[in-house]
Structure formats: C-alpha cells, structure tokens
Amino acid sequence: MEREVRHLLRFNFQPAPASSADGRPEPVHLQVLNEVHGPTLRRQLNRHLAEVPAAAGGEDCAHCHPAGRLQIRSATISGSVADRVGWLSLHGHRLPLRSDNDFLLELDVSRSPLATEAAAAEGEPCVAPSAVLGYYRVLRGRRLRCSHPGRRDLTAGAVRRALTEAVRRHRRGEGPPTVNGPAVTFCDAGGAVDCVPCVAVCASAAVPWLAELRARPRPSGWPEDRLLARLDRTLLLVPTGPHAEDDRLWRLSFSRQEAQLVRGLPPSARYCLMLLKAVKKERRDRLANVSSYYLKTCVLWMCQQRQETEWRDSLAAMDAVLEMLRQAVDDKVLPSFFCSEINVLRDPTDERLADIRRGIRYFQEEMLNLLHEMFTSLRPAKPITLE
Ligand SMILES: [Zn+2]
C-alpha cells in the first residue's frame, strides 16, 4: 500500500498553488468572501454592536477613548483559505480541507496601529506589555474629563462579550454562538463562521520579531530576503488571555505574516502541509489535539532547515513533520517561528501534552490508511457558501 500511496501522492502533486488560473471554479470564492460577505458581516455586526451597552466596551468610563460602542472597521478572511492551502486537488477534483471561514474583524480602536504608552498621546489608546510573553494589555486613552487616575483597560473579555452579544442578535433564533479562544463562532448553511476581533499594533511596540527572523541562520535559504521584506509589519492582538480566567490580556497574533509565509513556501512543502491538513480533516475528532497551527509551525521551521528536494517524498516529509512535533511535545516547547521565545504549546500541562502525544501517535499509525482511503474513494469538492 505504501508504494501505491507514494505513487498517488506524486501523481496528484500540483507544483503551483491551486487557483482559478486554470479556468476551473474554486470551491471557495476568496474574492466573494472578502468583497461581499466580509463587508455584509461587518455592517450587520456593527448594527448590533451599536445596541450593546457602552460598558461592554471596557471599564465604565464614558470619556475614555475609544468611548461608547465598539465598531468593526474591516472584515477580511484569514486562515487556510487565505493561505491558499484551503483545498487539495485530487484526480482533478478540489477537496476542501476545512469547511469553516475565519473572519478577522479589525476594531476601530485607533486610527493607526497602537504604539507603546510612552510613544502614544495620553488621549490615544496604547498597548502595554504584560508579565506573560506574547500577551499584552490594551489601554484606553485618558481624556480631560476622566476623573479616574491612570488609564483603563479595554479588556479582551469585554470585547469578546460585546461581539458574542452582537453575533447572538445577528443569528437570533439560530442557536447561540460559541466562544473558543478569541473566536466567536456561528454556523450557517455553508459551515462554521469564526469571527475573530483584532486590534492592530506597531511591531516595534510588541516584539523585535523581524530582527530575529532576519538574523537567524537560514541553511536552506528560505525564507528568502525578498519574502522577508514583503512581510506586513503590523501585528495583531486578538482577545484571548494565557488562561481562561484571565479576562484582561490580549494575545499577539502573527496571522497576516503566517499567511504571507505559507503562500511563499516551496511548492512541495506546501503540498506536504496540505496533505497533513487533509488527513487531520478525515479524523477531526481523534486528531483535534494535533492542531493545524502546530503542524504549520513545524513546517515553517523545517523549511528554514531543509532543502526543497527533501520535501519531494511527501510521505517521508509528513513523517518528519510529525516527528518534529513529537520531539517538541517531549521537550514541552514548540517555539513560534516569528519570535522563538514564545511557546506555541500554550499551557503545556502534562495532561495536555499526553493528549497531543496520543493524537500524534494515532496520526502516525493511521496516516497511510487515511491517505489511501482519501485518494481512492474521492468525494467531489462541495462549494462553501456563507449565506
Ligand atoms: Zn475615563
């Protein structure tokens, strides 16, 4: 079977990212999602956010900036669809790798990305580091009429609650939204829609990530200087703390940069990542603990080390990615590709690590069978729609 799977993987390899350039429709219309559904979702949620009391936007001072109600400035699609690893071509069909859509909702907190407290005017919101690396406080601007000393937090919890309420009103009668980390999720006919609120921050106000990335040895030559130069410098904060009980802190997100790097992966490495995601999708429940984010992080690190030729045997490359993840779980550390001091295995308790380890073992044991099943009993790609 191994030989047959190897052959199928090679046979179906597409050196170029799947796109509409070959004249066939994409299962996910990225442009439609961004240009039609995004603005509609933004408008509708803004209407409901306007009904959510001002106090839900932070501690109750009516004067602090941003005052009053939260508003969404823009909604863009993010995640695997935007990374162009959202579907896999098999025998000429397109197999969607995940059926949910992530909408990144940028909040109208400040006109420009948030700077540090020292660099921001007192009346403007700013960002302040916390005791936990990779987590920040968003502080509201203090106005003349404010009677309290010091700045007040725009807490992550308050933003999540306001958005949850807006989504609940938006989907009235359709079942309550669920909150998972920073995402408020509702379901419609096309699958799950994740709404992730975010605030833009100046990279220099956060971590010296780009300097680290540039200075690091890159034995394979990837990411090339040209790709690094193209990375968006604005980072995002998403409203989720290091622990469930922490209502205040925001987590640093490199999602824009990740999307850019994944799009710039050597084709055979991107194919390997897509295959891993496809297997994961086949056993969503059993492999829930082996997060796509861990897999993506391992692929990025390995790409920095391995020559492109080493990715060509897809099966061996998939094994190597899983082996790297297993090693990271044993070490209890999987460094973020963008800032190696940040551990991507958040909250690595023994219990959680054991769960991930079990998932990896299952992945390794079943991978060949699942790939064989997928490639031999193909279901045609089903288009995803939002409304
Ligand atoms: Zn105030």
Residues 141 and 106 in one domain: yes
pLDDT of 301 = 98
Ligand 1 centroid, distance to 56 Cα (angstroms):
14
Mean pLDDT value of segment 159-166: 90
106 Cα–ligand 1 center, Å: 23
Distance 199 CA to ligand 1 centre (A): 20
| Domain, as residue range, for 295 | 1-14+266-387
Residues 37 and 186 in one domain: yes
Task: Say if residue 105 is in the same domain as residue 129.
Answer: yes
Co-location of 277 and 171 in the same domain: no
Which tens digits make up the pLDDT trace of 49-60? 887 765 554 557
pLDDT value of residue 94: 59
**Same domain as 60, residue 92:** yes
Q: In the prediction, which pLDDT does 381 show?
A: 46
Query: Structure pTM?
Result: 0.85
**Helix/strand/coil (H/E/C) assignment for every residue in the chain:** CHHHHHHHHHHCCCCCCCCHHHCCCCCCCHHHHHHHHHHHHHHHHHHHHCCCCHHHHCCCCCCCECCCCCCEEEEEEECCCCCCCCEEEECCEEEECCCCEEEEEEECCCCCCECECCCCCCCCCEEEECCCCCEEEEECECCCCCCCCCCCECCHHHHHHHHHHHHHHHCCCCCCCEEECCEEEEEECCEEEEEEEEEEECHHHCCCHHHHHHHCCCCCCCCCHHHHHHCCCCEEEECCCCCCCCCCCEEEECHHHHHHHHHCCCHHHHHHHHHHHHHHHHCCCCCCCCCHHHHHHHHHHHHHHCCHHHHCCHHHHHHHHHHHHHHHHHHCCCECCCCCCCECCCCCCHHHHHHHHHHHHHHHHHHHHHHHHHHHCCCCCCCCCCC
Mark whether 83 and 184 lie in a shared domain: yes
Q: Are residues 194 and 252 in the same domain?
A: yes
CATH code for position 55: 3.30.460.90
Does 252 lie in the same domain as 127?
A: yes
Q: How confident is the model at residue 278 (pLDDT cuts 50, 70, 90)?
A: confident
Average pLDDT over residues 132-159: 91
Q: What is the mean pLDDT of the chain?
A: 84
The last residue of one of the domains, among 243, 264, 285, is 264
How many angstroms is it from 104 CA to the middle of ligand 1? 28
- pLDDT, tens digit, for every residue of 325-344? 999 999 999 999 999 999 99
Average pLDDT over residues 40-55: 80
Banded pLDDT at 88 (limits 50, 70, 90): low
For the cut 70, the answer to whether the pLDDT of residue 27 exceeds it is no
pLDDT score, position 26: 47
- Based on the fold, state whether residues 345 and 277 are members of the same structural domain: yes
Final residue in a domain of this structure, among 264, 292, 318: 264
pLDDT level of residue 81 (50, 70, 90 thresholds)? low
Q: What is the whole-number distance in angstroms between the Cα of residue 126 and the centre of ligand 1?
A: 14
Q: Looking at the structure, do residues 4 and 30 belong to the same domain, yes or no?
A: no
Please, which residues have CB less than 5 A from ligand 1, an ion? 61, 63-64, 146
CATH number for the domain spanning 276: value is: 1.10.1410.40
Ligand 1 centroid to 109 CA: how many Å? 15
Distance from the alpha carbon of residue 59 to the mean position of ligand 1, in angstroms:
9
Confidence of residue 92 (pLDDT cuts 50, 70, 90): low
Ligand 1 centre to CA of 269 (Å) is 50
Ligand 1 centre and the CA of 65: distance in Å?
Answer: 7
Domain count, the chain: 2
**Per-residue pLDDT tens digits for 106-141:** 999 998 999 999 999 999 999 999 998 899 999 999
Residue 1 confidence (pLDDT) above 80 = yes
Residues 133 and 223 in one domain: yes
Give 237-272 pLDDT, tens digit per residue.
Answer: 999 998 877 889 999 999 889 888 988 899 899 889
Instruction: Look at residue 387 in the predicted model and tell me its pLDDT.
Output: 30
pLDDT of residue 64 exceeding 50, the answer is yes
Same domain, 120 and 244: yes
Of 241, 264, 287, the last residue of a domain is: 264
CA of 123 to the centre of ligand 1 (A): 10
205 Cα–ligand 1 center, Å: 23
In the predicted model, is pLDDT for residue 31 greater than 90? no
